[in-house]
Amino acid sequence: MNRDKNSAPNLEVVYSTLDKAAASSFFIPVFEEEKKLDPNFSDLNKASGGALSRILETGENSGKFKEFSIVYLANHPVSRVILVGVGKRKEFTINKFRGAAARAARIARRSKSPDLALPVGSLASLDPEESGLAAAEGIILGLYRYGKFKSEQTASKNHQEESEFKHNEDENHSLRKVHLVISGEKELEFARKGWEKGKILADAANCVRDLVNEPPNIMVPAFFAEQAKMATKHLGIEIQVLEKDEIEKMGMGGILSVGKGSANPPRLVILKYQGDPKSKFTLGFVGKGVTFDSGGISIKPSENMHTMTSDMAGAAACLGALKAIAELKLPVNILSVLPLAENLPDGKAYKPGDIVKMYSGKTVEIINTDAEGRMLLGDALSYITKTLKVDAVVDLATLTGGVVVALGQTVSGVFSSSEPFFQMLMKAAEKSSEKFWPLPLFEEYGMQMKGSLADLKNSGGRYGAPCTAAAFLKEFVGETPWLHLDIAGTAYMEADKMAYQQNPYLPKNGATGIGVRTLVHLAEELSQKMNSLIQKKEVLVES
């Protein structure tokens, strides 16, 4: 496969003890206010002529989160030490470590180090498995760059091959090897287990970033479907791609209407992974896949319209999560339905005033063609809950501008019809350090979505938009335990400082890969619950 010089490399990982960790860059996390070097690193300190401890004692590096210093060592197998602040010890979290690892990896790359040593486990005051996992995520996510369209790097390459779903890597990349430094044999298997899982999660998120960053002239519904085929090929995931005429035959008026104005016809991708054939429990993933959202006839202002290339981030996250789940061979059954369409204005486009019959039979009066995501999701949700019959379903969608106003760019909104399911999501989100916050599904919001000529209308106006959108979706879910994640603010960064400063493994610009890691943890959580409890969906239904 072709490679992209700017992307994260396929890193080799080795495990070593402190005395054997000979790497051109060596990362040491430093705590704020302690002004002291961890005695574990006193050999390195000696080799630096005491420079490391002096930098800390003098406060030249205060240990504030992300603050860093580089110290070069002469005549030593370690040629530079990178001291990175991780903040106060009592506020130290695995996410701070993930962020510091990202920072260290980028500094190492900038200084053209071929390898980086990084203490995990007790040497970093952390659990060896958790820190092995966070190290992989921090480094692999942190090294991500999307630059394949810079012409000097891609001039001779064939585009189709380059855009293969598997994340591109670079043979000539400077940083190619990571030494995970552990206290001894006892930590090795834990660190390895953590790293391997973290690598799968981060690679999947980087693949999703590639898909979301892909420009909309290339990322059209058919292209997404091809990528989904490639991504799932050797993983035991079944895939079915429905084309426009089949979508029409199925009566999926929502998907069809949104896609009508585009020369690039819609697709419906259905994915199936059976990791636990004995279990009766199946989890559903539904993702909004609008490959470009111009707003349609209710056209958006042009100022930020280009960012609507990211409007398929929900569908991409579902695909990435499924890929990671299959690679991890998690014992869980997943069905995923990804409706894909391009929302454009045209003589054939759907328009305000149209009445559309959805897959479920409900009719929808179109008030605003820019409220297109719910039209796709309505069909996909009723298909997955009523026809395919999953036991629980989670949907991810860049659904409303309102959620960005309400929660900002670092927190996604969650709507849930089941408190236990919601709690599981929050637990999964704690593992990924992705932030979610609950928003309500009160009946009032449903009232706002009642149609005058049809059963429903597709827009309830500006007030409470994320909530009315969720209330619309609820009409297509029935009794199935359901979570709706509105990731409009978190999926794509536009010169964002906050998200990056808090989480240096996120990009300042472009796709974040939000949702992938949380979905994998959620699926894992759920599979454990289902197996250890009663193998019944009642676990998710409130009594």
Residue closer to ligand BES by CB (options 399, 407) is 399
> In this structure, what DSSP letter does residue 124 have?
G
Binding of residue 370 to ligand BES (CB under 6 A): yes
Cα torsion at 149, 151, 153, 155 (round to 10°)?
Answer: 110
Closest C-alpha among 401, 432, 409 to residue 497: 409
Residues 352 and 372 sit within 8 Å (Cβ to Cβ): no
- Which of the ranges 101-109, 208-216, 239-247, 367-375 carries the binding residues for ligand BES, by CB under 6 A? 367-375
Size of the site for Mn ion (CB under 5 A): 3
Q: How far is the CB of 493 from ligand BES (least distance, A)?
A: 11
Which is it for strands 115-119 and 392-397: parallel, antiparallel or unpaired? unpaired
Active-site residue flag, 64: no
> In whole angstroms, how close is the CB of 304 to Mn ion at the nearest point?
12
Pick the closer one to ligand BES by CB: 38 or 311: 311
Maximum Cα–Cα distance across the chain: 81
> Shortest distance, CB of residue 511 to Zn ion, whole angstroms?
15
User: Which residue out of 199, 288, 374, 517 is catalytically annotated?
Assistant: 374
Residue 311 or 342 having the CB closest to Zn ion: 311
Q: Toward ligand BES, which CB reaches closer, 465 or 511? A: 465
Closest approach of Mn ion to the CB of residue 372, in Å: 5
CA distance 448 to 461: 8
Between 428 and 493, CB nearer to ligand BES: 493
Least distance to Mn ion, CB of residue 276, Å = 37
Residue 401 binding target from Zn ion, ligand BES, Mn ion, none, CB below 5 to 8 Å by type: ligand BES
User: And the tokens for 428?
Assistant: 């999964």
DSSP 126: S
Helix, strand, coil shares, percent, the chain, to 5: 40, 20, 40
Task: Render the burial of 426-465: b for 16+ CB within 10 Å, e for the rest.
Answer: bebbbbbbbbbeebebeeebbebbebeebbbbbbbeeebb
404 binds, among Zn ion, ligand BES, Mn ion, none (CB under 5 to 8 A by kind): ligand BES
**Site membership for Mn ion, residue 370 (CB under 5 A):** yes
Distance (Å) of CA 478 to CA 390, 516, 524:
11, 25, 25
CA of residue 65 relative to chain centroid, distance: 23
Q: Are 333 and 274 in contact (CB under 8 A)?
A: yes
The yes or no reply on residue 371 touching ligand BES (CB under 6 A) is yes
Q: What is the dihedral of CA 158, 159, 162, 166, to 10 degrees?
A: -140
| Rounded Cα–Cα distance for residues 28 and 124 (Å) | 8
Based on the shown chain and the rule CB under 6 A, indicate whether residue 372 belongs to the binding site for ligand BES: yes
User: Residue 29 or residue 373: which is nearer to ligand BES going by CB?
Assistant: 373
- Asked whether position 293 contacts Mn ion by CB under 5 A, the answer is yes
> What residues line the site for Zn ion (CB under 5 A)?
290, 293, 311, 373
Distance from C-alpha of 316 to C-alpha of 424, rounded to nearest angstrom: 22
Question: Among residue numbers 449 through 468, which ones bind ligand BES (CB under 6 A)?
Answer: 459, 465
Closest CA to 130 of 430, 531, 506: 430
CB nearest Mn ion: which residue?
A: 370
DSSP β-bridge partners for residue 317:
none
Q: Show the site string, 396-425: x = touches ligand BES by CB under 6 A, - = not.
A: --xxxxx-x---------------------
Which of 11/491 has CB closer to ligand BES?
491
Q: How far is the CB of 361 from Mn ion (least distance, A)?
A: 24
Q: CB of 397: closest distance to ligand BES in angstroms?
A: 8
Buried-exposed string 94-130: b where 16+ CB fall within 10 A, e elsewhere: bbbbbbbbbbbbbbbbebebebbbbbbbbbbebbbbb
Q: At 109, which amino acid appears?
A: R
Residue number with CB closer to ligand BES (119 or 259): 259
Using CB under 5 A, which of the segments 189-197, 315-323, 365-373, 432-440 binds Mn ion? 365-373
The one catalytic residue in 66, 300, 351, 357 is 300
What single-letter DSSP state applies at residue 137? Answer: H
Instruction: Report what 441 binds from ligand BES, Zn ion, Mn ion, none; CB cut-off 5-8 Å by kind.
Output: none
293 makes contact with ligand BES (CB under 6 A): yes
Q: What's the CA gap between 44 and 51, in Å, rounded? A: 9
The values of phi and psi at residue 542, to 5°, are -70, 140
Q: Counting contacts by CB under 6 A, is residue 488 touching ligand BES?
A: yes
| Residue 362 annotated to the active site | no
Positions in 296-325 near ligand BES (CB under 6 A): 311
- What is the dihedral sign for C-alpha 57, 58, 60, 64? positive
Residues noted as catalytic: 300, 374
What is the binding site for ligand BES (CB under 6 A)?
Answer: 293, 311, 368, 370-373, 398-402, 404, 459, 465, 488
What is the binding site for Mn ion (CB under 5 A)?
Answer: 293, 370, 372
